[in-house]
Amino acid sequence: MCEKHDPLAAIIAAAMPQAAGPVAPRPPEQAAKQQVIKPVIHNVLNVLAKEAEAQASRRRRLWELSHACHCPLVGVGFPLGVLRKLVDKVTNGKVVADDYEVHVGAVTECGTRNRLSEALQKELERRYAGVLLRFRNAKSTEQVAELWRTAVNNGDVAGAFWAGLTHPRCTAELEEQMCRDLHMVQHQAGACVRADINKFNATLEDNKRLTHDLSKAQQRATALLAEKSAESERHAAQLMQLRAQVVGKDSMIDSLKIALEQLRRSIPGLESRARLAERLGQMEERERAMRNQINELKLELARAAEQQAAPVQEEARQVVEHVMKMPLRLSERSVLCVGGRNGNVASYRELIEREGAQFAHHDGGLEDNANRLEASLAAADLVICQTGCISHSAYWRVKDYCKRNGKRCVFIDNPSISSLARGLEQASAD
């Protein structure tokens, strides 16, 4: 393919003068004659042996290779851009020929020593200096061939092709084998390039589709981000408003606390008065309860005269039995009964006061003042809560107060006297 001479080669040859002209090899007789007439330093035979060894170890130049090696060497050794730059530099201008013509012209000029072949030689030496250093350690043709096969297996043949062809131990047989191997490598590389092109085109289609999907996803993400930003700003504004309201309420609470403290300081003896008022309310409540008890006793006495004596005695006997069984010590203690039936209050009082305790009653706010319930709870040592005959509000107030202050409380479901006795008996057992 590259043996046909192209007009570009003539253009390049005319544009650049020969550097030094081809160097004609010296005849062996003349070389030997010149070697013989050299001045003898120590030993003429040693000098002649060293010169022959140096001549045999010299690497070949580009123009000294066979013409069949120039085409593959230029093809794999130089990228097209680098080759065109070297041709432009040698011709002092810009070559307008296409890539094939530049390649053919360069291959033709490699057959002789000229400015272009010397420039190509220098570029090959510079570009593949590392590979040349590795091939320099080869001392035989077999070692050179082994290095070349390793490069082919590794897929890096450009530098190894140049280093192997120019090696002093490269024979004609090895040179031909290297050209054959490189020819097959180029075929395989072409097939790989075609496969890579198909994969590349498929990758381009996938990339186009993925780019389209990415654009849609970015648009959705931008819309969501804008929505979240607006929502975040709205929440931040609401948070600022709530913080302002909290600060205002805290300020109001502080001002009310200061006003309350000032009011307390302005009234001397406020705590003593509050305690006395509490005590007075308890005394009034007890007095009213005693009056109610007297009235109920009168009614009970009238009813008892009409009823049979046996049931009354049986009930009294059961009450006494419960009282006798009660281990709870109520002596000199204040017992508050909250709720219950008004008709049983007198019996409650008799049962409690028989144990030496003081009895107080509060109906849970039905008739008695609900605000005095807490004062009555504070004055009592034991609280009896009739859960079956009390309002929900009073029940929760009693339960909460006893829990907060650690005061003992007995809850009774049935408002009868026997239930009260059993509840006190259970409380004493606990």
Tens digits of per-residue pLDDT, 293-346? 887 887 788 777 667 545 544 554 454 344 334 445 677 788 888 887 777 888
User: Which pLDDT does position 195 carry in this prediction?
Assistant: 61
User: Which pLDDT does position 341 carry in this prediction?
Assistant: 78
The model's pTM is 0.36
User: Which pLDDT does position 146 carry in this prediction?
Assistant: 92
- What are all long-range contacts of 49-57, with beta carbons under 8 Å and residues at least 24 apart? 56/168, 57/168
Q: Give one DSSP letter per residue of 122-175, joined into a string.
A: HHHHHHTHHHHHHHTT--SHHHHHHHHHHHHHHT--HHHHHHHHTSTT--HHHH
Token reading at 34: 């010149």
- Between CA 289 and CA 283 the distance in angstroms is 10
User: Which pLDDT does position 196 carry in this prediction?
Assistant: 66
Rounded average pLDDT per 10-residue block, the chain, 430 residues:
45 43 45 42 45 62 89 88 88 82 89 90 91 90 91 87 89 89 82 70 87 92 93 92 90 89 76 78 84 80 67 48 48 82 82 83 72 82 83 84 87 80 71
User: Which pLDDT does position 311 carry in this prediction?
Assistant: 56
Contact criterion met (CB below 8 Å) for 73 and 162: yes
User: Which pLDDT does position 54 carry in this prediction?
Assistant: 45
- Neighbour-count burial of 261, counting CB atoms closer than 10 A to its CB (0-12 exposed, 13-18 middle, 19+ buried): exposed
User: Which pLDDT does position 328 carry in this prediction?
Assistant: 53
How would you classify residue 21: left for phi > 0, otherwise alpha for psi between -120 and 50, otherwise beta?
left
**To 5 degrees, how large is the angle CA 305–CA 310–CA 313?**
90
Q: What is the pLDDT of residues 128-165, one digit of tens each?
A: 999 899 999 899 999 999 999 998 888 888 888 898 88
User: Which pLDDT does position 368 carry in this prediction?
Assistant: 64
Among 12, 17, 116, 115, residue whose Cα is nearest residue 74: 116
Token reading at 296: 């109920």
